[in-house]
């Protein structure tokens, strides 16, 4: 692994942990490092409050372009390694509200793309829009208002949810409006009995509902109509209804919004895969990929596709391990979900 702070390459680091996230504005990292207070490079790299630029590469692949966020220095009779952590450049959007330079908070007749570009410009960030969502990202909201206590991430995700768009990021530190790649070929087929693989499956039924209703009130101006959309969750057999309210958007967004609520519920079905390596088929394991699993111990009796949403990479000078957090693909696409246990 190659870890750089600014242009300086680090040696003598250990206990690396990297969390690559798909459905998030940032990935994160942490490691421990031997800090020499007499070393001029060390002093420059780890100055508290510098928010120094960080890049992490492995196997010739860029994983994170971010900033140094937190340092914990230690001193005692026995020399200890310092702790360092940070996140992607876009992580600032989850910590900060929209700056006053980007006011007003109310947006009339603007698209998600326009609102996002305006909100992130003061942070020096760039927005990328995947071709798969360009039409949805360009469609306008009649009216949208951000709470002054709401983070930039929260506001943009709230709007994107209504259009079934994912607010993500890339390895270069850009904000990304995108859509999942659930039709791609699987990068690996996991089965029972592989000595370097452990799998577990969790189904949290308490947070699921048989029927989901999304209500939209008519606007006071009379330009927006009241609306309602209803959708069913195939994993719930009993009567467990829930009702949500749409805060903004057009009539057509109501059906997209209720589908997004169902997607959130489907995240209560989680497949976790633990490996003793970072690389599969010559490439670092990444989110936004597909794997398949067959494991009767997990009540998965036929080959089933899962979407890799998060990849946690851990390593030291001896071992490298990975943990994949996976969901059914219907969490991220617009397909009608089917119960994989039937």
Work out the average pLDDT over 264-283. Answer: 96
Task: Give residue-wise pLDDT tens across range 213-242.
Answer: 998 765 555 555 557 899 999 999 999 999
Task: Give residue-wise pLDDT tens across range 89-133.
Answer: 999 999 999 999 889 888 889 999 999 999 999 999 999 999 999
* Alpha carbon distance 225, 217 (integer Å): 7
Which range is least confidently modeled, 7-16, 95-104, 252-261, 268-277?
Answer: 252-261
Residue 257 has what DSSP assignment? H
Q: Are residues 169 and 217 in the same domain?
A: no
pLDDT of residue 143 exceeding 60, the answer is: yes
- Output the furthest CA–CA distance in the chain (Å, rounded): 72
CATH of the domain at 82: 2.30.300.10
The tokens describing 296, both together, are 């009767």
CATH of the domain at 146: 3.55.50.10
Q: Which domain holds residue 34?
A: 2-88
CATH of the domain at 249: 3.30.1920.10
Q: Are residues 303 and 325 in the same domain?
A: yes
pLDDT of residue 107: 86
Q: Are residues 216 and 260 in the same domain?
A: yes
* Alpha carbon distance 244, 315 (integer Å): 42
Question: Which is higher by pLDDT, 258 or 329?
Answer: 329
Which of 88, 117, 141 terminates a domain? The answer is 88
Which of 215, 232, 266 terminates a domain? The answer is 266
Q: Are residues 257 and 166 in the same domain?
A: no
CA dihedral sign, ordered 112, 118, 123, 124? positive
Q: Are residues 8 and 84 in the same domain?
A: yes
Q: If we measure between CA atoms, which residue out of 91, 215, 207 comes closest to residue 153?
A: 91
Q: Are residues 20 and 50 in the same domain?
A: yes
Q: Are residues 160 and 239 in the same domain?
A: no
Q: Are residues 272 and 199 in the same domain?
A: yes
Q: Are residues 195 and 253 in the same domain?
A: no
Contact 164, 273 (CB under 8 A): no
Q: Are residues 161 and 44 in the same domain?
A: no
Query: Total structural domains in the chain?
Result: 4
Q: Are residues 198 and 209 in the same domain?
A: no
Q: Are residues 198 and 319 in the same domain?
A: yes
Work out the average pLDDT over 152-178. Answer: 94
């Amino acid at each position: 692994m190659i870890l750089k702070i600014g242009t300086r390459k680090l040696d003598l680091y250990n206990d690396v942990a990297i969390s690559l996230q798909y459905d998030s504005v940032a990935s994160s990292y942490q490691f421990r490092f031997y800090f020499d207070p007499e070393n001029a490079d060390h002093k420059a790299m780890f100055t508290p409050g510098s928010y120094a630029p960080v890049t992490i590469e492995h196997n010739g692949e860029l994983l994170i372009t971010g900033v140094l966020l937190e340092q914990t220095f230690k001193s005692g009779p026995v020399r200890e390694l310092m702790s360092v952590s940070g996140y992607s450049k876009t992580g600032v959007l989850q910590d900060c509200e929209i700056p006053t330079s980007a006011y007003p908070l109310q947006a009339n007749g603007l698209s998600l793309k326009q609102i996002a570009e305006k909100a992130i410009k003061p942070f020096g960030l760039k927005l990328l829009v995947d071709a798969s969502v360009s039409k949805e990202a360009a469609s306008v909201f009649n009216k949208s208002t951000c709470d002054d206590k709401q983070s930039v991430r929260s506001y943009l995700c709230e709007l994107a949810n209504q259009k079934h768009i994912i607010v993500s990021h890339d390895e270069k530190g850009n904000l990304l409006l995108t859509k999942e790649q659930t039709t791609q070929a699987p990068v690996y087929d996991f089965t029972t009995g592989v000595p370097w693989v452990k799998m577990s499956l969790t189904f949290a039924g308490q947070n699921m509902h048989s029927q989901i209703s999304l209500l939209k009130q008519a606007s006071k101006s009379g330009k927006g109509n009241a609306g309602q959309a209803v959708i069913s969750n195939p994993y719930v057999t009993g009567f467990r209804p829930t009702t949500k309210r749409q805060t903004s958007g057009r009539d057509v967004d109501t059906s997209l919004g209720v589908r997004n609520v169902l997607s959130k519920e489907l995240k209560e079905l989680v497949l976790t895969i633990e490996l003793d390596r970072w690389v599969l088929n010559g490439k670092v394991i990444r989110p936004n990929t597909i794997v398949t699993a067959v494991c009767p111990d997990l009540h998965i009796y036929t080959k089933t596709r899962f979407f890799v949403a998060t990849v946690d990479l851990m390593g030291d000078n001896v071992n490298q391990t990975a943990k994949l957090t996976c969901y059914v693909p219907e969490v991220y696409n617009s397909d009608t979900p089917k119960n994989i246990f039937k």
